[in-house]
Structure 1
Amino acid sequence: MSCRSASWYVLILTWFVLPAFAQAQGIVTVLDSATLQPVNDAVVIFQPLQKSGDSKQKVFYTNQYGEVSGNLQEKAMIYIQLLGYETFQDTIAPSATNTIYLSRSAVNLSEVVVTGQYDINTSDKSVYNVTVIDEATIQSMAAQHLGDVLENQLNCRVEQDNILGSSVRINGISGQHVKILIDGVNLVGRENGNIDLNQINMNNVERIEIIEGPMSVSYGTDAIGGVINIVTRKSSNYPLQADLNLYYESAGTYNGDVAVLWRKNNNTFSISGGRYFFDGFSVSDTTRFMEWKPKQQYFASFNYGYSFKSLKLNFKSDFMDQEIQNKGNPVLTPYQAYAFDDYYLTRRWNNALSADLRFKNNGKLQITTGNSYYRHIRNTYRIDMVTLDQVLLAAEESQDTAVFTSWIVRGTYSQNLPNRKVNYQAGYDINLESGNSGKLADGLQHINDYALFGSIEYQVVSHLYLRPGIRFSYNSKYGAPVTPSLNLKYDFLTRYSLRASYAHGFRAPSLKELDLYFVDVNHNVLGNPNLEAETSNNYLVSFSAANQVGAFNFSADVSLFYNDINNIISLALVEPVTQLYTYVNIDRYKTTGGTFSAVFKTSRMTFTTGFSLTGIYNTLSDSLDIDAFSMTPEFQNNFLFTFPKAGFEGAVYFKNTGTTPGYGLETDGTVYQTFIAAFTIMDLSITKYFLKKQVAFSIGVKNLFDVTNIQSSSLSGAVHTGGSDSIPYSVGRMVFGGIRLKLYKD
């Protein structure tokens, strides 16, 4: 039986067999103290007080009626935990019927995190530095794609390509070293090494979790720079809810999407879909050619969840279809008029089936099987400008089709109890990837990765935690490295936290880098099957403080980081006579820097300010007298305010990116300085609510200072930059408007 078939068999067996072991008696009912409504999915722990008899600890989830059954034979301690509520602790008698009321806590639910955690956690308790961007913040930005969100974050620099889309650098590390997950399942289909952020829509996102620094122990390759996990909405607080969103931008964007969420008994169901359309834009709109290409996306998502006692099952499917048009300028002759148009067709289809099982010792088993499909087609047509007939060009270099698929089978077992000195997680991770393209050797290539990983969180003394971790991998194409990590967290004086970490990361060679075969009259580029993995060492220290005085909340964070990446894979000329290029492990890359941020918050206002400094290593400093690092500053000021009685909310997002200096070397050995100019982005929005927030109208301005291109004294010579002296950033200042409808049934 193949690994793929076995994984589905295990999950299907789990679905039907495990519920038979659950018990059906209910002796405790848990209600919300304010609303008196049942509290479901709360963790209830029974710990017998006597050592004799059945003294084992028992753990359950409350059902949709807020009930649990402990089947107790003797008096026991009862602990009830749920994020957003104060932990309840008391004694309970056997066979007694109890109603327990939970009080809501001051925990901000927007800080709930799951990425890299043993169990659902809050960011202040995590050993990692986790940034959480919640749904309300995403809506206040009027963000349509992931790139819209990240461009407002410190240490995140979004880079645009008019055809390949947008990518992100985190702490100076490129997007090919950043792992992007949707509900914990990684995306495939990287163009030029990057996932296009414009293909990740925000229409059904609950929150975004960002961890800076290597997460290779938990997530394997491509996680040197960090992990971005998009957590989607799977259910509603209401039995039935329907959402409708309409959005317009003055540059020619027309977006619409709809979602329906349903919940009954142990079942949750959601379905959503939409169409995003961009009409294309050029500053001088006089020809067919557009600087910013017309684009159309259709997308849909389906989610079904089932819970029974301590078992949760979930199936999710996402689909996206995109078309980008690159229309050429007309060619006019005395006898004909024609043009060449490129069409880029991209399709993504991701599916995942997961099972979560909680054991009586509070151990948690999570199994996920996922499939990702990515197809990218480029077609070139000759257009007769008189008859408008299209003819597909027959030349091989004018067409390209690439299909990448991956299967993942991932399982973890975690033990996580607040009152234990030692908690742990162990897991396995299987990734099977295949690529089919005319530019790959033999057309079809496979790469398989098998890994075991684990970590232990040890409470050395009160409030001091150590978490060492390690990952062992086997890869079918290259020698995979052993990956260790060590995290430390110390909480003191109830409001301060110190974190420090060392992590070893790696990036595996891609199928393109290993098996590329691109040979024609204009190209002679081959992959290199002898490539090694890129490896990195990361060091991070951070300090956090938080305080609350009445209704006023304050928090501040300071962090310092250092990254050292070895064996960077680069394209190099290896045979000048035949102009043969191939990929080699040749480069070294370092980044360093620090960040300060502070948040001031009341019930009606949130003000965030921050500053970061990121340095990128100058390799010429090894042999020349120049600065070792080129430093780039960033400044951030965000202001969100609300007037509940009037039904108004507003937001101001401001971010300044300073000049990025660098150095180059002339052919005669002379050093010259390069730069990318500073620029400032500012967005404004205001929202008016009606009918108890069931209807919302939003208007605003994006890119208030009209930044279109960023001046640069030199460019990398990338294919689509055209060798100009500027880097494309945006279409410029845009006015936007949107309507959100939220209909629900109590």
Structure 2
Amino acid sequence: MSLNKNYYCLFFTLVLTGFLFSQTTATDTTHIETLNEVVITGQYNPTTINKAINNVIVITKTQIENQAANTLADVLNFNLNLTILPSSQTGKSTISFFGLDGQYFNILIDNIPLVSDSGMGNNIDLTQINLDDIERIEIVEGAMGVEYGANAVSGVINIITKKSSEEPWKIQFLTQEETVSNEYAWFDKGRHIQGLNISHNLSDQLYARIGFNRNDFAGFFDNKQGQSYYQNDGLRGYEWLPKTQYNTNAFLNYKGDKFTLLYKFEYFNEILNYYDETVRSNINVENQTSNPSSTDKIFKTNRLVNNLSINGTFNSGARYDASLSYQEQKRDLNQFNYYIVTQQKSDVTNETYQSSKVLFSKGTINNLLQNDLYNFQLGYEARYNKGFDTQASGDVTQEDKEYTQSNFALFTSSEWKITDALSARPGFRYEYNSKFNTKLLASLSLRQQLKNGVELRGNIGTSYRTPNFQELYYYFVDSNHDVQGNENLNPEKGYTAFINLKKTATIPNGIVTSTLKASYIDINDKIDLAIINSTPLQYEYININAYKLWGLTTDNSLKKEQWNFNFGATIQGISRIAANEANASNDFLYSFQINTSSTYISKKWDTAFSLLFKYNGAQYDYTASDADEEGNSIFSKSKTNAYSWMDASIKKSFLEKKIQATIGARNLLDVTSVAISSTTSGGTHSTNNNGLLLGYGRSFYLKLLYNLNF
């Protein structure tokens, strides 16, 4: 099926422009939401945003639905200081958060870290997190080491799931069809999503929910020719690999008189298909025939999650919260010689090449003193990790390099209401790790309520990042290479400082919120590859570098009657300090982002019109391009060109919200890749150019959601 992309782009632009600048009637009014969203991340008790000690960014269920977002990767792309990093060949999408990759922040589901290939909570593939049962997403920026421990240097993202339903029975079915650029067909092209969720109040105390979701991404051909192509010209396979995901979950919530007991089960399965572009002819000289073949691979990911939580209050009024979680994730590789014409396989091998098993427990207690001016929290956290990564270490002995790591932490913090307007929360965490040295983490958060709706928040804190599996155990040695991990690495040390100034003002039928944020991140003992021997040339991961970031961000929102408008901008300066490089530059390099969104809700038509835009300015880095007479690397400045994302959607409800239809477009500006250029030693104007693949172009979708409540 072929689509005229320019025609559809013009259509969406004209439709949305007309509505975004149209007049509204006096009868088409909506209730203006004030800052009353309840948040839990980093708080002692559930509280509203304006009373929270930490600054929390909330992505609501309505925002998720307006974008027809199915995975976490779909919804985070338009936030400032966040950049989605997709990979066409691995199928993964990770995040850069304040210039740091996914190893430096934690992804939580209901305050419990999620298992990943390399451990727990960090470096997670965002496309593997389904949003069907999500209530909201909370983002806290800055070091959260006291509350969440290791790898929470730049912040945490906490996904809050639904816990209850107002209706005795709620059945929800969704189907979503989406083009992949201009490629679409019912089965073998495009993106096809189906989901079913059933919830029931079994009694006044017991609530149950089950859900299933299938997300079939048929890949993106572009100029490639797919699986059945047998010419050896580099065109076999896909530009973006096809994959199919299945997500099954179940949830139970029991409410007693003074406690709530919750249990969640989740099983996730992903199948990713790789088709090698190299084709062997396999010519039979005797009968002058050929049987072309390629070495193809099937990657399978399986994730199992069991979470049990209990929270409540004692007779004294003290509040407690405890969680126990067992999670597993493994990746299997099925590799074989595929005969393209006859569709037969030979030389089939199967192995599990990545595995993580984690046992996690966390508990807190607060409100021990019945005092309006003072509160404190005591908590513990325990983790046990067991896993291996054959890709990183299997070539050493042809066996899996399995590791175990345990960690136990005690933490405490206190919250003082110094005056009616000023609150402070100092905190400390003592953390024992079976592999690394004991850590003592600290933080201090302040909240000052000023006059005229102005709030001032500040946070300074420490956290650290533990070395990942590759940095510890990587081994690649042949006649030309010697690159090894280092089991004696130390964790990276992180320090952050964030200041947040927010102004809220009421206008007729509306509310205006403006925020100015300053951020600073300092990381020492940063891990990187370094030359440890020049003859023969040997590389090893060592603690050698440093990283510094400062940034300024402004966020502004206007909610007035049916309108919701947001505008933000951020500037960041990043310095990467390579102590082992004689010619390295420690200069700060700057980047700039702008985002804006607009939503118009017509109560008369029961329709929402949304437009989202984000501009990512040029990014700069220093890369080694040559060597001087002494063999030291010479660095030149590389540039990744600026690019922009734009999405648009129209969401319409029918039959008293029993049916909801959303039609929209992703990547309206048709971004596929951006150029990366660097100056070489050949002269001031000599450059090397290549590209960074970011997307597969403009795509369109239609989502139908059916709600049956009784």
Output the TM-score relative to the length of structure 1.
0.81
- Find out whether 1:202 has 2:128 as its counterpart: no
Corresponding position of 1:372: 327
Q: Kindly indicate whether the alpha-carbon contact (under 8 Å) linking 1:190 and 1:196 is maintained by their aligned counterparts in 2.
A: no
Higher mean C-alpha displacement, 441-450 vs 663-672 = 663-672
Cα 1:615/1:108, change in 2 over 3 Å: same
1:104-153 superposed Cα distances (whole Å, 9 cap, x missing partner): 996555x2211111010122211212100010001111112111111110
Q: Kindly indicate whether the alpha-carbon contact (under 8 Å) linking 2:32 and 2:560 is maintained by their aligned counterparts in 1.
A: no
Root-mean-square deviation (Å):
2.5
- Residue 361 of structure 1 and its aligned partner are, at CA, apart by 3.6
- Residue 378 of structure 1 and its aligned partner are, at CA, apart by 2.4
Alignment match of 2:616 (pick from 657, 660, 667): 657
Count of aligned residue pairs for this structure pair? 631
- Following the alignment from structure 1 to structure 2, what is the Cα–Cα distance between the partners of residues 270 and 724? 52
Corresponding position of 1:383: 338
- Following the alignment from structure 1 to structure 2, what is the Cα–Cα distance between the partners of residues 714 and 277? 38
Cα 1:596/1:532, change in 2 over 3 Å: same
- Following the alignment from structure 1 to structure 2, what is the Cα–Cα distance between the partners of residues 516 and 240? 52
- Following the alignment from structure 1 to structure 2, what is the Cα–Cα distance between the partners of residues 366 and 360? 15
- Segments of 5+ residues of structure 1 without an aligned counterpart are 1-103, 716-722
- Find out whether 1:691 has 2:651 as its counterpart: no
- The SS at the match of 2:152 is coil
Alignment match of 2:58 (pick from 119, 127, 132): 132
1:624-675 superposed Cα distances (whole Å, 9 cap, x missing partner): 7967211111111100111111121110000000111223343136553210
Corresponding position of 2:115: 188
- Segments of 5+ residues of structure 2 without an aligned counterpart are 1-30, 181-189, 226-234, 285-290, 680-687
Corresponding position of 2:295: 340
1:544-567 superposed Cα distances (whole Å, 9 cap, x missing partner): 011223321110100001100011
- Following the alignment from structure 1 to structure 2, what is the Cα–Cα distance between the partners of residues 646 and 359? 49
- 1:95-114 equivalence runs, <5 A: 107-108=34-35, 111-114=37-40
Q: Kindly indicate whether the alpha-carbon contact (under 8 Å) linking 1:170 and 1:212 is maintained by their aligned counterparts in 2.
A: no
Q: Kindly indicate whether the alpha-carbon contact (under 8 Å) linking 1:557 and 1:598 is maintained by their aligned counterparts in 2.
A: yes
- The SS at the match of 2:51 is coil
Alignment match of 1:257 (pick from 171, 178, 195): 195
Alignment match of 2:47 (pick from 118, 121, 134): 121
1:348-399 superposed Cα distances (whole Å, 9 cap, x missing partner): 11111111121234311111000110101223211112321112456xxx95
- Residue 447 of structure 1 and its aligned partner are, at CA, apart by 0.1
- Following the alignment from structure 2 to structure 1, what is the Cα–Cα distance between the partners of residues 125 and 534? 33
Q: Kindly indicate whether the alpha-carbon contact (under 8 Å) linking 1:174 and 1:225 is maintained by their aligned counterparts in 2.
A: no
- 1:349-428 equivalence runs, <5 A: 349-392=304-347, 401-415=353-367, 420-428=372-380
Corresponding position of 1:615: 573
Corresponding position of 1:743: 708
Corresponding position of 1:225: 154
- 1:238-387 equivalence runs, <5 A: 238-251=167-180, 252-263=190-201, 264-286=203-225, 287-329=235-277, 330-335=279-284, 336-387=291-342
- Following the alignment from structure 1 to structure 2, what is the Cα–Cα distance between the partners of residues 739 and 243? 10
Alignment match of 2:85 (pick from 150, 155, 159): 159
- Find out whether 1:177 has 2:115 as its counterpart: no
- Residue 598 of structure 1 and its aligned partner are, at CA, apart by 0.5
Q: Kindly indicate whether the alpha-carbon contact (under 8 Å) linking 2:117 and 2:330 is maintained by their aligned counterparts in 1.
A: no
Q: Kindly indicate whether the alpha-carbon contact (under 8 Å) linking 2:118 and 2:356 is maintained by their aligned counterparts in 1.
A: no
- Residue 222 of structure 1 and its aligned partner are, at CA, apart by 1.0
Cα 1:416/1:272, change in 2 over 3 Å: farther
Corresponding position of 1:466: 424
- Following the alignment from structure 1 to structure 2, what is the Cα–Cα distance between the partners of residues 579 and 191? 29
Q: Partner amino acid for 1:414? A: N
- Residue 414 of structure 1 and its aligned partner are, at CA, apart by 1.5
- Following the alignment from structure 1 to structure 2, what is the Cα–Cα distance between the partners of residues 663 and 577? 26
Alignment match of 1:709 (pick from 656, 669, 673): 673
- Find out whether 1:434 has 2:392 as its counterpart: no
Corresponding position of 1:31: none
- Residue 616 of structure 1 and its aligned partner are, at CA, apart by 1.4
Q: Kindly indicate whether the alpha-carbon contact (under 8 Å) linking 1:328 and 1:341 is maintained by their aligned counterparts in 2.
A: yes
Identity rate, percent: 29
Cα 1:625/1:356, change in 2 over 3 Å: closer
1:716-738 superposed Cα distances (whole Å, 9 cap, x missing partner): xxxxxxx9811111110001111
1:309-343 superposed Cα distances (whole Å, 9 cap, x missing partner): 11110110111100111111233354331111121
Q: Partner amino acid for 1:683? A: D
- Residue 528 of structure 1 and its aligned partner are, at CA, apart by 2.2
Alignment match of 1:570 (pick from 528, 532, 549): 528
- The SS at the match of 1:124 is helix
- Following the alignment from structure 2 to structure 1, what is the Cα–Cα distance between the partners of residues 67 and 668? 13
- Following the alignment from structure 1 to structure 2, what is the Cα–Cα distance between the partners of residues 240 and 284? 48
1:223-282 superposed Cα distances (whole Å, 9 cap, x missing partner): 101100111112212111011111111111000111011112100111101110011103
Cα 1:416/1:246, change in 2 over 3 Å: farther
Cα 1:741/1:165, change in 2 over 3 Å: same
Q: Partner amino acid for 2:46? A: I
- Find out whether 1:734 has 2:699 as its counterpart: yes
Cα 1:436/1:170, change in 2 over 3 Å: closer
- Following the alignment from structure 1 to structure 2, what is the Cα–Cα distance between the partners of residues 400 and 376? 6
- Following the alignment from structure 1 to structure 2, what is the Cα–Cα distance between the partners of residues 124 and 153? 20
- Following the alignment from structure 1 to structure 2, what is the Cα–Cα distance between the partners of residues 418 and 690? 50
- Find out whether 1:501 has 2:459 as its counterpart: yes
Cα 1:724/1:242, change in 2 over 3 Å: farther
Cα 1:314/1:684, change in 2 over 3 Å: same
- Residue 689 of structure 1 and its aligned partner are, at CA, apart by 0.8
Q: Partner amino acid for 2:441? A: T
Q: Partner amino acid for 1:412? A: T
Cα 1:437/1:600, change in 2 over 3 Å: closer
- Residue 170 of structure 1 and its aligned partner are, at CA, apart by 1.4
- Following the alignment from structure 2 to structure 1, what is the Cα–Cα distance between the partners of residues 145 and 80? 22
Cα 1:417/1:687, change in 2 over 3 Å: farther
- Following the alignment from structure 2 to structure 1, what is the Cα–Cα distance between the partners of residues 82 and 44? 27
Cα 1:464/1:207, change in 2 over 3 Å: same
- 1:503-582 equivalence runs, <5 A: 503-516=461-474, 525-576=483-534, 580-582=538-540
- Residue 575 of structure 1 and its aligned partner are, at CA, apart by 4.3
Cα 1:682/1:126, change in 2 over 3 Å: same
Q: Kindly indicate whether the alpha-carbon contact (under 8 Å) linking 2:91 and 2:243 is maintained by their aligned counterparts in 1.
A: no
Q: Kindly indicate whether the alpha-carbon contact (under 8 Å) linking 1:609 and 1:636 is maintained by their aligned counterparts in 2.
A: yes
- Residue 571 of structure 1 and its aligned partner are, at CA, apart by 3.2
Q: Partner amino acid for 1:327? A: Y
- Following the alignment from structure 2 to structure 1, what is the Cα–Cα distance between the partners of residues 370 and 84? 39
Output the TM-score relative to the length of structure 2.
0.84
- Residue 685 of structure 1 and its aligned partner are, at CA, apart by 0.3
Corresponding position of 2:640: 676
- Following the alignment from structure 2 to structure 1, what is the Cα–Cα distance between the partners of residues 535 and 693? 35
- 1:19-98 equivalence runs, <5 A: none
- Following the alignment from structure 1 to structure 2, what is the Cα–Cα distance between the partners of residues 370 and 564? 32
Corresponding position of 1:15: none
Corresponding position of 1:214: 143
- The SS at the match of 1:509 is coil
Q: Kindly indicate whether the alpha-carbon contact (under 8 Å) linking 2:584 and 2:634 is maintained by their aligned counterparts in 1.
A: no
Q: Kindly indicate whether the alpha-carbon contact (under 8 Å) linking 1:173 and 1:591 is maintained by their aligned counterparts in 2.
A: no
- The SS at the match of 2:644 is strand
- Residue 522 of structure 1 and its aligned partner are, at CA, apart by 8.2
Cα 1:167/1:265, change in 2 over 3 Å: same
